[in-house]
Amino acid sequence: MNTQVHKRVIGARPASLATPLFSRCTFARYLVVLMSFAAQVALGLDPAKSLFQFNCRSWGRQNGLPASVINAIKQTPDGYIWLGTPRGLVRFDGAEFKLFEPKTPGPGHGVSVSSLANTHVHRGGLWFGLEYGSFGYFEGTDTRFLPKGDRLNETLRIRAVLETRSGDIWVAAETLGGRLTRSNVFEPVLVGSSESSRYDVTALYEDSRGRVWLGTARAGVFCWANGELIRLGDPVFDKEIVRAIVEDTEGRLWIGTDWGLLCYNATLQRQEFPHPWYPVRALLVDRHGTLWIGTCGGGLVRYRNGTMTALRQANGLADDYVTALVEDAEGSLWVGTRNGLTQVTDVKIPIFGRAEGLPANIVVSVNPSRTGGLMLGTELGLIYLPDPQTTFDNARHYSTNAGLKNPYITRAHQAKDGDIYLIDGDMSVLVLADGSVVACYPNRTWPTAFAEDNTSVLVSVGGDLYRVSRSLYEPYVFKEGNKPPFNWIFHMAPGHDGSVWIAADNGICRLKDGTVELWTHTNGLPRSKAKWILEDADGTVWVGFESAGIVRLKNGQLSHISTRNGLFDDVIIAIVPDDRGQLWIDSGRGIFSVSIEGLNRFAEGAATEVECVAYDTLEAIKSAEKFDQWPSGCKTADGRIWFPTAQGVAMIDPARLTRNLVPPRIHIQRVRANGTEFDRFGQILAPAGDGELEIQYAALSYIGPHRLRYRYKLEGFDKDWVDAGTRRTALYTNLKPGTYKFHVHACNEDGVWTPKGDVIEIGLAPWFYQTGWFRAIAGTGVLFCLVGFYRWREWRTAVKHRKLKEAHDRLEAEVAKRTEELAQINAALKSEIEERKRAEVQVERIYMQLLRASRLAGQAEVASSVLHNVGNVLNSVNVSTSIVVDRIRKFPVQNLVRALQMLQENSSRLAEFLTKDKRGRMLPEYLAGLAEVFTKEQEALLTELKELTQNIDHMKETISLQQSAAKIAGTREITTLAELAETALKLHANAYSRHGIKVERDYQDVPKVVIDRHRVLQILVNLLHNAKYACDEGGRPDKKVTVRIKRAENGFVRIEVADNGIGIAPENLTRIFEHGFTTRKDGHGFGLYSSAMAARDLGGTLTAYSDGIGKGATFVLEVPIEPPHENGNGLTDKLANGAKSAEAVKQHDQKTA
C-alpha cells in the first residue's frame, strides 16, 4: 500500500484558533493551572487501595443522561465534562446534563459525535468529530466547521481528533489521516494512492516526545516524527483493528485492538503480555502511572505492578462494554460505556471486605491486640492481623479448627500474657492460647465487654462482673459488698493507674481494688445509657451516650456536649482517640472527628460550640451503616483507626487523609432580567421592567457535587456576601434601574474556595418616567401648577367673601319669617297635647290586654316545652324498659328449675348421684355456668335500671325546670360544660347505639360557667335528639355526631353539635328556629324554638350552619362564662322586667274584676 503526503491550504482557521498559546493566556490563568497541578499530586485514585473500595456513580437515560452510548469524554479547561454521543454533544456540570446538537456544515452530515479533543489554544473550546460528517470546533454555543477541499469534500467518518502540544490538529477518518498545521496547511499524512487502497485511520495519540501515533484498521501502526512517517514493524497489526494507543510513565507503548492489548517497550519491542483477551476500546494512564483498560465485555481493568483487577457492571459500572476513558482535574476517572456514564472516585475512608481478603462477610467487632495489630470478630471466627500494614490475606483465622464450637465472635481481648479472650454466639467466654481453645465458660446471658486490671482479665455479663483466666471464672469481689447498681454493662476501659472504667445503663463508675466510685444522673450525667467510655493520655475521661452526646469527666467536673453545642450526632456508638489530638467517633449518623482541644475549650467556657468534621457522605466512605455489628472501635500501632460496618471494616488513616485542594471552577450559566433571557457571553442590558433578576450558576467539582456551597454578592445592592448554601440560583426583585455587578464564589466539599469566582455586569434600563429628563420636565410642570394654584386660590377667596355677605342678608330675613311661623305652631301643639293624653289612657288599656294574652301564650309554650322534653326522655325510658323486659323474659329460669327437679328426684342418693351418675357429675359445672350467666344478667339489668332511673330523674328536673320558668325564676350553679355534655350523651347512649351512630368528643380546656344547668341540658338533649334523626335520614353507613367544646370571644364558651346527616336546605336556615316550623313528618316545630328561647334567656345564642342537603349540619350554642348583670334582688334585668309585667297584668285583672 502506497503512502502519500499531501500539502494543501484549505482556508484560514478562526483567528482565535491560530493564535499562539502564550499570547492568549494570562499570568493569572497559569497560576490557577499551577495550583491545580500542585493539588492533583494528592488527588487521583490511590493505587494502594483495592479497586472495589472506590465509589462508582453511574448515569443513564433513567437519571438524566440524554443518550446511553458514550463515544468520547473530555474535560475542557473551564471544568465542564463533555460527552460525545449519537445525539450530539452533552455538557455535564455535576448536577445537570445539557444537550448541544452541532449545526452540521450541510446535508448528509449526522449529529453523532464520534470523538473529542481538547484545545491548548483557546480556553473552554473543544474539537469534535462527527461520525457521519466532518470535524469542527465548539465554544459556548457556537459551532465552526473548517472549510474542506480536495479529498475532504466527501462526507467523512471521523474516528478521532487530536490537537498536539505544537498546535497541529490531527484528524483520523475512514479514508485518510492528516493534520492541519498552525500555518493553515492541511497535510493528508496517511492516504491511499487509489480508491481501493484507502487507509481507515482509527486511533490518534501524542506521546511524551511529541510523536504522533496513528492506528489503522488492518493496515498497521504508524508514527509521525520530525516530518517522517514510520511504520511499526509488527505484522500483527495487518490483521487487527487498532482502537486505542497510550504511553505509560516507563515509556512503554500500549496498543488496544479487537484482539486484545499489546505492549511495546521504549525501543518498540513487544513485551510479553497475556493475550488474546477482551477487545480493548479505550486506554488511559492516570497521574499515578496506573494503566486503565476499557474492554468490550470485560469491564474496566486496572493494571499495576503486574496485577490486573476488573471492575464490572455487578460492581457498579454502567456496563461491561467500555468505550471511553478520561481522568479529570480532581483525579476522578470517567468511564463511557455503551449503556451510560460512570464516575470512579476515591474515598477518604476505605472499607475492607471480602474483595480485600477478609474471609467473612460480617465483621461484628474490631479489637486491638497487645502487639499493635488488629483482631476482628466475625461470623466465621476470629481474624488476627499481627501487623496492620500487611494485607488481610496474611491474617490468621481462628474458627472451628481452633476448637470454636460457635465461630460467631462478638468480642475479643488479648491479655498481658498473650492469651486471647473471646465471646461467642453461645454467650460463652473462651480463652484461646497457642492457637486453640483452652477454657470455655458458658453463661445464661450475654457477656458484653472485657477489661484488665493489675490482677486478671475482667468480663461483664449483663450487669455483673467476673474475673476470668484459664482456670478461673468467679464473681468480682467488691469491698463491703458495694456492688454498683447496674442492670447492664456496655463497655469497659482501662485507666492509667490500673483502675477500670465502666459504662452502664444508668451511669458510669471507676473500679479499683474492689472500691467503686459512682456517677449517675444525680451527679449531673444525662438520663441516657452510657454506651462507651475511655480515658485519654491526659487522664480525661470521655463518655458516649446512647442519645445524649458526650460527657467529659475531668478533675471531678462533668461537662456535657451535644448537638445543641455543635456535636455532629447525639447517638454515640464508639470513641477512639488518634495520635494527632482528635477523637474519632462512630455515631448513628456516621463517622466524624472532633479535636480534643476544641472539646476542652468548650467545657472550660472558652468557646460557645464545638466544630466537627463529618465523614458521612459517599466521597468520604462508601457506607458507615451497621447490621449485626457490636459497638466497637480501636487504634492500631500504626496510628490507624478501625470501625466495623455492614460492608466490612472501615479504616481511617489520620496522617494520610486526602483533601480536595482543587478549587471548583464556577460559571454563571444563565441570566434572566426583567423577563428577558440573555446570552452569558454577550452584553447584558435588560429592557425596562419591574426590576426582576434571576441568575443561575454552577461550580464544577465532581467529588461531592451535592456538598458544594456558594456565596454571592450583587454589587450595587448587597452590602455583604449572601450565603446561598447549596442553592444554585440567585433571585432579586424590585431592583432600581442602573448597572450592577454580580459576583459568585464556591467552595468544594473540603472547604476550598475559588480564588476569583465569576462576575458579570448587568444593566437594567429605566422606564421613561425614571429618567433624568423626565424628572426635569415634571419638576418644571409642578412649579407652574403651584403658581397657577396660588392665583386661583386668591380669586376663589374673593368670590367666597361676596357670597357670604349675600347669604347673611338672606338669613336675617329668613329668621324673622320663621319666628312668626313658630308662634303659630306653638298654639297648635297645646291642642295636640290634650288629644295625646286621651290617647294614652286608651293605649294603657290595650297594653293590659296584650300582657294578659302574652301570659296565656307563655303558659302554652311552657306546657309544650314540658311535653317535648319529657317525650324525648320517655323514648329512652321505653327503650330501657323494653330491654329489661326482654332480658327478664330470656332469663334461663327453666334451666334452674330442671336442675332443682333433678336434685329433688335424687335427694335420697344425692352423694351417689353427684359422684357416679353422668348427669350428676355434670350438674355442679352446669350450675356454676348458670350462676355466671345470672351474675352477668344481673349486672346488665342493674345498668339498664340505673339508666332508667337517670331518665326519670331527668324528667323530674325538666318538669321542675319548666315550673321554675313559669314562675320566672332560674337557679344558677357553677358547673362544667363537659359534664353537661356527657350527661346529655348518656341519655342518648342507647338510642345512638341502636342506630349505629358513632360519637366523637373534642373538649378543649374551658373555664367553669355559672349557669342554669337544667336549661343547658334541655338544649343539648334536644340538639342530640335532632342529630339522631338527621343521621338516620342521611342514610350514610358511617353515621357520626361530633360534640365540641371550645372558648369563644368576649367571655363566651361554645358547644357545637355536628352531624353528617341529611343537612339543611339553604332556604330553611333562616326559618329553622321559628315556632311551629319543622322539616320532619312527625315533628311539631317546637324543639328548636324552645331551645333558642332558652339560650336567649341564658344570655347566649343558638345558631345553625349547613352546606346543604346531604352535607350535615352544625348547631352552635354560645353561653357566657359569667351570668348577665343582676339587679339588687339577685335576678337578671330581663327576669325583673318580666316579673313587673306579670304583676301589672295581675293588678289590671283585679281592677277589671
How confident is the model at residue 1090, as a pLDDT? 83
Judge whether 508 and 519 are in contact, CB under 8 Å.
yes
C-alpha cell at 515: 472500691
State whether residue 293 is helix, strand or coil: strand
Q: Which residues make Cβ contacts (< 8 Å) with residue 1085, sequence separation at least 6?
A: 1074, 1075, 1076, 1077, 1078
**Residue range 739-755: mean pLDDT, rounded:** 92
Amino acid at site 143? T
Q: Encode pLDDT of 1038-1066 as tens digits.
A: 999 999 999 988 889 999 999 999 899 88
| Bridge-based pairing state of the strands 436-441 and 634-635 | unpaired
b or e along 107-118 (b: 16 or more beta carbons within 10 Å of the residue's beta carbon)? eebbbbbbbbbb
How confident is the model at residue 4, as a pLDDT? 39
How confident is the model at residue 40, as a pLDDT? 40
- Omega before 276 within 30 of 0, i.e. cis: yes
How confident is the model at residue 310, as a pLDDT? 94
* DSSP letter string, 805-871: HHHHHHHHHHHHHHHHHHHHHHHHHHHHHHHHHHHHHHHHHHHHHHHHHHHHHHHHHHHHHHHHHHH
**CATH number assigned to the domain covering 970-1122:** 3.30.565.10
How confident is the model at residue 1087, as a pLDDT? 81
How many other β-carbons are positioned within 10 Å of the β-carbon of residue 867?
Answer: 14
Q: Which of 1052, 987, 1074, 1053 is nearest to 1024 (CA)?
A: 987
How confident is the model at residue 1068, as a pLDDT? 85
Q: Encode pLDDT of 167-226 as tens digits.
A: 888 999 888 888 888 877 888 898 876 666 678 999 999 999 999 999 999 999 999 998
Backbone angle region of 498, left / alpha / beta, with phi > 0 → left and psi within -120 to 50 → alpha: left
Distance of CA 834 to the CA centre of its chain: 89
Q: Which of 658, 671, 668 is nearest to 697 (CA)?
A: 668
Q: Packing angle between helix 1013-1034 and helix 977-987, nearest 10 degrees?
A: 50
> What stretch of H or E contains 699?
strand 693-700
Judge whether 650 and 689 are in contact, CB under 8 Å.
no
Q: Which of 292, 285, 296 is nearest to 322 (CA)?
A: 296
How many other β-carbons are positioned within 10 Å of the β-carbon of residue 93?
Answer: 21
Q: Encode pLDDT of 576-600 as tens digits.
A: 999 999 999 999 999 999 999 999 9
Of 332-341, 435-444, 999-1008, 1010-1019, the poorest mean pLDDT is in 1010-1019
**Residue range 897-916: mean pLDDT, rounded:** 78
CATH topology of domain 8-346: Methylamine Dehydrogenase; Chain H (2.130.10)
d(CA 65, CA 328): 19
DSSP bridge partners of 324: 336
CA distances from 991 to 985, 995, 1024 (A): 10, 6, 10
**Residue range 78-82: mean pLDDT, rounded:** 91
State whether residue 411 is helix, strand or coil: strand
Q: Encode pLDDT of 260-281 as tens digits.
A: 999 999 999 998 877 657 999 9
Q: Encode pLDDT of 16-58 as tens digits.
A: 333 332 233 333 333 334 344 444 444 789 999 999 999 999 9
How many other β-carbons are positioned within 10 Å of the β-carbon of residue 359?
Answer: 16
Class of CATH domain 665-770? mainly beta
Taking 60 as the threshold, does the pLDDT of residue 1143 lie above it?
Answer: no
Judge whether 1085 and 1033 are in contact, CB under 8 Å.
no
Q: Which of 178, 105, 183 is nearest to 144 (CA)?
A: 105
Taking 50 as the threshold, does the pLDDT of residue 652 lie above it?
Answer: yes
For Cα atoms 886, 887, 888, give the angle at the middle one, nearest 5 degrees. 95
Long-range residue pairs from 874-882, CB within 8 A, at least 24 positions apart, any chain: 874/951, 874/955, 875/991, 876/947, 876/951, 876/987, 876/988, 876/990, 876/991, 877/948, 877/951, 877/952, 877/955, 879/990, 879/991, 879/994, 880/944, 880/945, 880/947, 880/948, 880/951, 880/990, 881/948
Residue of 52 and 775 predicted with greater confidence:
52
Taking 80 as the threshold, does the pLDDT of residue 546 lie above it?
Answer: yes
Place of cell 341564658: 1098
Number of H helices, E strands in the chain: 13, 72
**Residue range 452-479: mean pLDDT, rounded:** 95
Taking 80 as the threshold, does the pLDDT of residue 509 lie above it?
Answer: yes
Q: SS3 letters for 1051-1093?
A: CEEEEEEEECCCCCCHHHCCCCCCCCCCCCCCCCCCHHHHHHH
**Residue range 1130-1152: mean pLDDT, rounded:** 42
CA distances from 137 to 532, 655, 822 (A): 62, 46, 108
Q: Encode pLDDT of 229-250 as tens digits.
A: 999 989 999 999 999 999 999 9
Q: Encode pLDDT of 796-812 as tens digits.
A: 888 888 888 888 888 88
Taking 90 as the threshold, does the pLDDT of residue 915 lie above it?
Answer: no
d(CA 283, CA 606): 56
Distance of CA 452 to the CA centre of its chain: 45
Of 537-551, 554-568, 582-596, 1009-1023, the poorest mean pLDDT is in 1009-1023
State whether residue 543 is helix, strand or coil: strand
C-alpha cell at 235: 505484522
Share of the chain above pLDDT 90, in %: 50
Q: Domain ranges in the chain?
A: 8-346, 350-476+632-638, 479-625, 665-770, 809-919, 970-1122
Q: Encode pLDDT of 272-331 as tens digits.
A: 877 657 999 999 999 999 999 999 999 999 999 888 999 999 999 999 999 999 999 999
Confidence of residue 1 (pLDDT cuts 50, 70, 90): very low
How confident is the model at residue 870, as a pLDDT? 67
Of 406-415, 441-450, 765-774, 821-830, the poorest mean pLDDT is in 821-830
- Is-above-0.75 flag for pTM? no
CATH topology of domain 479-625: Methylamine Dehydrogenase; Chain H (2.130.10)
**Residue range 804-821: mean pLDDT, rounded:** 82
Share of the chain above pLDDT 70, in %: 87
Are 350-476+632-638 and 479-625 the same fold in CATH?
yes
Amino acid at site 930? L
Distance of CA 1077 to the CA centre of its chain: 57
How confident is the model at residue 391, as a pLDDT? 83
How confident is the model at residue 904, as a pLDDT? 80
Q: Encode pLDDT of 932-983 as tens digits.
A: 887 887 787 778 777 777 777 767 766 665 554 444 445 788 889 888 888 8
How confident is the model at residue 155, as a pLDDT? 64
State whether residue 878 is helix, strand or coil: helix
Residue of 502 and 43 predicted with greater confidence:
502
Q: Which of 123, 50, 575 is nearest to 347 (CA)?
A: 50
How confident is the model at residue 960, as a pLDDT? 61
| Bridge-based pairing state of the strands 1040-1047 and 998-1003 | parallel
How confident is the model at residue 963, as a pLDDT? 54
Backbone angle region of 810, left / alpha / beta, with phi > 0 → left and psi within -120 to 50 → alpha: alpha
For domain 350-476+632-638, the question of CATH label 2.130.10.10 is answered with yes
